[in-house]
Amino acid sequence: MKNSNCIALIVGVLSIFFFPVHHLWAEQDIITTIQESLPSIVTIATENTKLFQSPQTAAARDPRTGRVVVRKGLTTASYNRIGAGIILDTSGIIVTNAHTISKANRIMVILHDQTRIPAQPIKVISNYDLAYLQITPPFPLLPIILADSDAVQLRDEIVTVGNSELLKQTISGGHIIGIGTSASEKQSGIDATGLLQTSINLYKGDSGGPLLDKKGHLIGLMVAGQIKKDHSSFAIPSNKIKQYYAEIP
Contact call for residues 236 and 224 (beta carbons, < 8 A): no
Asked if residue 32 belongs to a domain, the reply is: no
Asked if residue 29 belongs to a domain, the reply is: no
Domain identity same for 174 and 222: yes
pLDDT value at position 70? 57
Quick: pLDDT tens for 181-219.
654 444 444 456 789 999 988 888 899 999 999 899 999
d(CA 22, CA 25): 5
Please count the structural domains in the chain. 2
Task: State what percent of residues in the chain have pLDDT above 70.
Answer: 70
pLDDT value at position 190? 46
Domain identity same for 75 and 121: yes
Asked if residue 93 belongs to a domain, the reply is: yes
Least confident piece of the model among 13-17, 55-59, 171-175, 217-221: 13-17
Please give the residue range of the domain that contains residue 122: 40-55+69-134
Average pLDDT over every residue of 148-153: 95
Asked if residue 24 belongs to a domain, the reply is: no
Domain identity same for 159 and 115: no
Domain boundary among 112, 134, 156: 134
Domain identity same for 150 and 241: yes
Domain identity same for 153 and 117: no
Domain identity same for 162 and 79: no
Domain identity same for 103 and 161: no
Q: How far is CA 169 from the centre of its chain?
A: 12
- pLDDT above 90: residue 33: no
Say which CATH number the domain at 211 has.
2.40.10.10
Domain identity same for 91 and 169: no
Domain identity same for 183 and 149: yes
Task: State what percent of residues in the chain have pLDDT above 90.
Answer: 53
Domain identity same for 95 and 161: no
Asked if residue 19 belongs to a domain, the reply is: no
Task: Give the residue with greater pLDDT, 56 vs 169.
Answer: 169
Domain boundary among 134, 156, 177: 134
Domain boundary among 93, 112, 134: 134
Least confident piece of the model among 51-60, 105-114, 157-166, 204-213: 51-60
Domain identity same for 183 and 216: yes
Domain identity same for 128 and 163: no
Asked if residue 114 belongs to a domain, the reply is: yes
Asked if residue 198 belongs to a domain, the reply is: yes
Asked if residue 12 belongs to a domain, the reply is: no
| pTM (2 d.p.) | 0.76
Enzyme catalytic residues: 99, 129, 207
**For residue 74, with 0-12 CB atoms within 10 Å meaning exposed, 13-18 middle and 19 or more buried, which class applies?**
exposed
- pLDDT above 60: residue 22: no
